Structure 1
């Protein structure tokens, strides 16, 4: 008769254990179901990313470059009427707006790709590939935006009475010192414009501005050297007249050999100074002229070489990174 109470006490414990087991099984089923749902959602998201969002990304980028070219052509045409920078910007406003729409659409397409990327699972390569694509794509958009935004400033740098046009003052100066003075005055507004161009988001403009800034400094240095050499030459002409008079006086006095030797030594020293001055002048003058002659090529290279190379780089890299993302998606979907 003593076993009955024990059986009664164990029943609630057994019931509790059974309930716990049932709840654990239910929880496991719920976890598995949620995992399957999340996995399915991930697969659907990846499919949309590959078939729709990446396609939209590529299509949006394809509209940017034509919009850039259209704006640049419209602005340059308006500026050559001739027109002021403000008038040219007004007359190319339509093309400018169309470019901005293309950029905005491309940025939206990029945002959609980033939103559809997701974290992925441990070891998944797709998020990393998508991040690399985003970096390259963003760099391209920033470069094109900087190209358009800074174009009026770049295009107007060497126009008459604007920016850096005053650097070429050779024919306006009567002396080399006057040329150096005029150059220094012209360099002030030029540097202001160059410093503005250094803030561009387009790296080709920035590198050009830095090179031009250095070229201006070189011109100023060479202009100072040639001006000083010209002044030294005038001093040498005066010294020559003094020594001619000194020799005539020595001859008239029947001076001693020692006095003649002293005059000869002084003349040697003057001749050495003249020779060194001539070398400095030739060196600086040659580089000054080369700097002036090289300006047109420096400007032309911005578009013909540097910007063209930058665009080719992006045209080569971005499609590869798009394909890498697609391959990573296919690999994850195949698991």
Structure 2
């Protein structure tokens, strides 16, 4: 007879704890492996962002301004052939396409920067720097695109087919009231083009359009004042003739002193009205002439000053944003 040894029962709790420890170790190993892989991928993405994508972004931006200048020159040359706006757009279509390709390439380069892996770390310095650079770069692209898209409208504002040339009625009018009427008619057509220009993505065009709109309103106001003053003057001439007759009649009748005193008071009041009317006329006429005279400078300043300052702003801000991002990348890659 064989006696079998007594088997000890395994405690279920111990078995469960053992399994839990084993599973935890396996899970930890997986987490460590995944974390290491993610960190490596992020590092490679940041190196790619710093060494290639930022360089591509800068190179793409460098091609935009020459493309803008080439298109503007081509359009203006075609327009001065002379040609209509539609013909000038056809004549500069190649340069317009080249510009659009440059813009599209820059947008692609920006998208590649923005879609880089910048969200893998708790420190959001890199992602924040990318966001700031993206905002500045996008503003530059929109500005340049608006500069080109709205140029035909801006360039043609004072050509015959745009209507704003009608603002300068000058010698076309026989009198100031006719000048005011012709100006009002021209202002309606001109404002249609000005309101279109206000929709441009380029802030220099928008500010110019707003200023021009205000200038038109000022011209209309001053034209109305001078026209009214001219009509008042004609009325004063008529009243003067009446008073000459009234004085002659009073003299012929040997009128009493009280009647002469009344006429004198009326003439004094009339002289005050004449002086006030003359002051209003001089004020409005001077500003009307200055408004017309300043118009060419207002147009010229759009490119010589406003657009130039706008480009200088972007040229100053974007490199700073790039440098901030580079510094953030260096700091994170050094960890």
TM-score bracket, shorter-length normalisation = over 0.9
- What does residue 272 of structure 1 align with? 272
Post-superposition offset of 1:161: 4.2
- What does residue 313 of structure 2 align with? 313
Asked whether 1:90 is paired with 2:127, we answer no
- In 1, Cα distance between the equivalents of 2:94 and 2:307? 24
Confirm or deny: 8 A CA contact 1:167 1:187 kept in the other structure.
yes
Q: Residues 13 and 120 (structure 1 numbering): CA distance in 2 closer, same or farther, change over 3 Å?
A: closer
- In 2, Cα distance between the equivalents of 1:147 and 1:189? 23
* More moved, 278-287 vs 312-321: 312-321
- What does residue 147 of structure 2 align with? 147
Q: Residues 237 and 151 (structure 1 numbering): CA distance in 2 closer, same or farther, change over 3 Å?
A: same
- In 2, Cα distance between the equivalents of 1:190 and 1:133? 39
SS in 2 for 1:8: coil
- In 1, Cα distance between the equivalents of 2:325 and 2:97? 32
Please, what is the CA RMSD of the aligned residues? Answer: 1.1
Deviations 1:33-88 (A, max 9, x none): 11111111110000001111111100000000000000000000000110100000
Post-superposition offset of 1:16: 2.0
- What does residue 178 of structure 1 align with? 178
Deviations 1:175-204 (A, max 9, x none): 000000000000011000000000000000
Post-superposition offset of 1:228: 0.2
Q: Residues 267 and 165 (structure 1 numbering): CA distance in 2 closer, same or farther, change over 3 Å?
A: same
Asked whether 1:8 is paired with 2:9, we answer yes
Post-superposition offset of 1:211: 0.2
* More moved, 113-122 vs 293-302: 113-122
Confirm or deny: 8 A CA contact 2:42 2:117 kept in the other structure.
no
Confirm or deny: 8 A CA contact 2:222 2:284 kept in the other structure.
yes
Asked whether 1:189 is paired with 2:189, we answer yes
- In 2, Cα distance between the equivalents of 1:117 and 1:128? 12
- What does residue 200 of structure 1 align with? 200
Superposition TM-score, scaled by structure 1 size:
0.97
- What does residue 53 of structure 1 align with? 53
- In 1, Cα distance between the equivalents of 2:176 and 2:117? 65
- What does residue 65 of structure 1 align with? 65
Post-superposition offset of 1:122: 2.2
- What does residue 258 of structure 1 align with? 258
Confirm or deny: 8 A CA contact 2:162 2:193 kept in the other structure.
no
Deviations 1:194-234 (A, max 9, x none): 00000000000000000000000000000000000000000
- In 2, Cα distance between the equivalents of 1:48 and 1:161? 53
- In 1, Cα distance between the equivalents of 2:91 and 2:70? 13
Q: Post-superposition, which runs of at least 4 consecutive aligned residues in structure 1 deviate over 6 A?
A: none
Confirm or deny: 8 A CA contact 1:117 1:130 kept in the other structure.
no
Asked whether 1:322 is paired with 2:322, we answer yes
Post-superposition offset of 1:100: 0.3
Superposition TM-score, scaled by structure 2 size:
0.97
- What does residue 248 of structure 1 align with? 248
SS in 2 for 1:97: helix
- What does residue 219 of structure 2 align with? 219
Deviations 1:14-35 (A, max 9, x none): 2221111011111111111111
Post-superposition offset of 1:9: 4.8
SS in 1 for 2:9: helix
SS in 2 for 1:243: helix
- In 1, Cα distance between the equivalents of 2:200 and 2:124? 37
Confirm or deny: 8 A CA contact 2:118 2:126 kept in the other structure.
no
Question: How many residues of Structure 1 are paired with residues of Structure 2 in the alignment?
Answer: 330
